[in-house]
Chains A and B, each alone.
Chain A
């Protein structure tokens, strides 16, 4: 059967469907990206997935050169994001170290320093300058900070013994009591 001369040749239906699927997919990707950007940091109540933090030489934990967060279940974990170029981080460095010295020996609390977008030599100078000796390591490929969706440094995340995030501190601590208050709450 020959095609009628009156038939208008438009875009075939299958091409239109593909175009619409493509456009909807693109919009979905943009939407998810925007939603993620507006979400802010990981919120309290969120179960923290496993991640591995490689440790700087001299800042290992029990001789291990890397830490898997899953291995720390049963302990309160304080995850502090910092950088050597970050001036506000310097304000809380002494408080964090003092808190580590207070709670570290109990074996119930672990402090982890995650060095964000930094260079190792400068980071080591910083750690030495502030006498920090709790486990510290670089955030390789910014995977950990992307998981926590940090907005900057310093930020500190308190994870309970079950691996659930309980408190987020944006910005520096101004006193050791602020750190104590959160840890004591999680140790009860």
Chain B
């Protein structure tokens, strides 16, 4: 019992001596890892410059935030979400994947395709139109009128016989 107690004390001391401080921080992310996320973001102050190449102080601070969050083990999606919550959805280089985002271009594409289709249907029959226009000159103007004329002629023929 005495030996067991002494042994456990030695084990505990050994563990304590060799124990490393535990940290939530991971390895420092590389510039490439930071820029991979940074290039998907735009600072509202410098709207046309992606964050990875933006030289301003505000953008430098943002890149530091990305680096810090990566070292905390946060995912790319979590980091982007953080920036959206802090600065609004306009910081993203691509709008969020919502059906509304596709509604207007979707309608435009469908309408455009429909109009093109109808246009092609009209254009691909010039021969038909030409032959029709020739026949048009040769034929009387109104089918109903012709029918009535033929009916009258038929009656006349019948009565003459």
- A residues adjacent to B (C-beta < 8 A): 5-6, 8-12, 15, 18-19, 22, 26, 83-85, 117-119, 122, 138, 140-143, 146, 152
- Residue contact A141 to B111, C-beta cutoff 8 Å: no
* Known A117-B43, A122-B61; contact A6-B136, beta-carbon cutoff 8 A: yes
Chain B residues within 8 Å of A122, by CB? 61
* Known A8-B122, A9-B118; contact A22-B111, beta-carbon cutoff 8 A: yes
- Least CB separation from B115: chain A residue: A11
* Known A9-B121, A10-B122; contact A141-B61, beta-carbon cutoff 8 A: no
* Interface size band for B: 20 to 34
Closest 8 A/B residue pairs (Cβ): A85-B57, A141-B88, A85-B58, A119-B61, A142-B88, A11-B118, A5-B132, A117-B44
Chain A residues within 8 Å of B45, by CB? 117, 152
- Residue contact A142 to B58, C-beta cutoff 8 Å: no
* Known A10-B122, A119-B64; contact A15-B114, beta-carbon cutoff 8 A: yes
A118 to B119, CA, bound (A): 54
> B108: CB under 8 A from chain A?
yes
- Least CB separation from B104: chain A residue: A26
Interface string of B49-80 (1 = CB under 8 A from A): 00000001110011011000000000000000
